[in-house]
Structure 1
Amino acid sequence: MAQEAAAAEGAAGVPGAAWAEAVPLTALNYGARRRLGLFLNPRAAVAADWTALAERLGYEFLEIKRLEAEADPTARLLEDWPARCPGRATVGRLLALLRALERHDALADLAPRIEEDCKKYLERKRQEADRPLQVPAVDSSEPRTLETRGITTRDDPLGQTPELFDAFICYCYKDIEFVQEMIQELEQTEHKLKLCVFDRDVLPGACVWTITSELIEKRCRRMVVVISDDYLDSEECDFQTKFALSLSPGARLKRLIPVKCKHMKKKFPSILKFITVCDYTNQHTQKWFWIRLAKSLLLP
């Protein structure tokens, strides 16, 4: 990380420098994304726009048509790309594509912003690398337990038979009453589904990000996202949703099921717009809500 930071300091604002390949696209802040949209959103015959960038990224015709409905399709494309291609969406790759599309006007204008965002990211990584490691145990003679063992109430502490679930429930604590109703409808009826509800099933004491990733990726077949205005303000829910989407780009594996539990004043999360939603707020279809959700979770 120290080498990366040093490289960043010597970049001198050169767009597409080699160090940018080590910086994920998520390092670009809102200002840089919005500015790029001012260049790419307008459709013009004389310059490559956001659709040309989408084609270079491998997006198909119907996917591009879906993005056309967005108010800022460039920003939506940059948000969708990391989930679609985990590990490959980097600042360096974006800069290379802009050069290939001959959008030198955008590169010249954005160079200072992009350089600043990348330097901040690399500096954070350098600081994290320089932090002293914590000793995993106070007494090294004590037996050690892996962090992903014994994380749920019914887990085997030795990790031989980890507890498995039909679905991980991603929710904000303010929506716990709806989650309790979900437990009654899906676990305590003929459906007999097994849900992973964090506040009920997960033991305290381990790193929340580590065990959440373990549960979503390896212990739960699917994930239900309980969406409300409070959900949009939760960092935990944001992490869980993006992590699940990275495991199933384009929702091809049907791993993630959005559930709208309340009427919302805020805008529905754009990252989930392309996935069919199970809407509890629609009174006309509410009587079919639980059976539809149960059938989705029971799919092989």
Structure 2
Amino acid sequence: MPHSVSDTPDIRRAFQVHPVLFDICGLVLRAVPQTGLSNRVYRLETNKGSFFLRLPRAETAGMVDRQAEARNIEIASGLGIALAPLFCDPASGILVTGAVETVNPEADDLPSRLGDAVGRLHGSGKVFAGTLDADAVFNAQKLSLVSNCQDEPDIGLLDTLIRDLRLLEDETCALMPVPSHGDLSPGNCLASSGNLWLIDWEYSAMAVPAWDLAYAILEHGFSGPQEAAFLNAYRQRVPAHVPSRRQLEIMKTKCDAVSSLWAHEQLCRGSDKTDFRSFARTRRERALKRAQEIIR
């Protein structure tokens, strides 16, 4: 439901603290909340046009390297796959971009469009700030849960799983890190009539190609044919960066393990926006099942 600015004190406060936002956006006529878990995101309709405004939630302070995000989104916008930042303040995490009119892509069209966009990013030769490693992310999540969560989940099997998979990777770890989005969920892919835009670059970094590929396949729930179309489009852009089937399956398992612990972290913080407990259980079970198929 659209809101007036008087109904959204967080927007009013952002404009007061950063007067340059008036120069960029003009007079805000209405603010339409968008979906977002870690941020408050609005589509602003103003006398100067339409804009996306991101305001980070207070509870996520310190969890994102905003300096790295600012650098990486500038690079990605130069490649034509991210909306160009009109205002980006790493200190506050406030971000403004132009808004785009989105369309619902055909189910058979999205995989190839996304594969092409990811291929353009991975094959750009650019260097992003930061690094993203699945094992390091999992270990950091595990430590956080052990240290901060009173209702600590049973993660013993997942921990053993990650260690076992690491032993299988020697022959499949030759691919070098590439600039990666890090969070290619459906909500972070905006299709317009002329492009597929990737948004929310908070977790962007240098990572092995398999991370973005595996994560996108899992989060979009691609079927076998859709996964093939996604990888074929990617391969046409960067044939040298396509991981082996074994490497991709290992990374899918790790991504599910990371997603399971992420959901437990949300529970630990008291979030109730989604059924995180069911989500965590589903991802855990899928990771364990896939791992058994890889190991045997």
Q: TM-score range by the shorter chain?
A: under 0.3
Which structure's residues are more often strand, by fraction?
Answer: 2
Q: TM-score, normalised by structure 1?
A: 0.24
Q: TM-score, normalised by structure 2?
A: 0.24
Q: If you compute each CA radius of gyration, which structure gives the higher value, 1 or 2?
A: 1
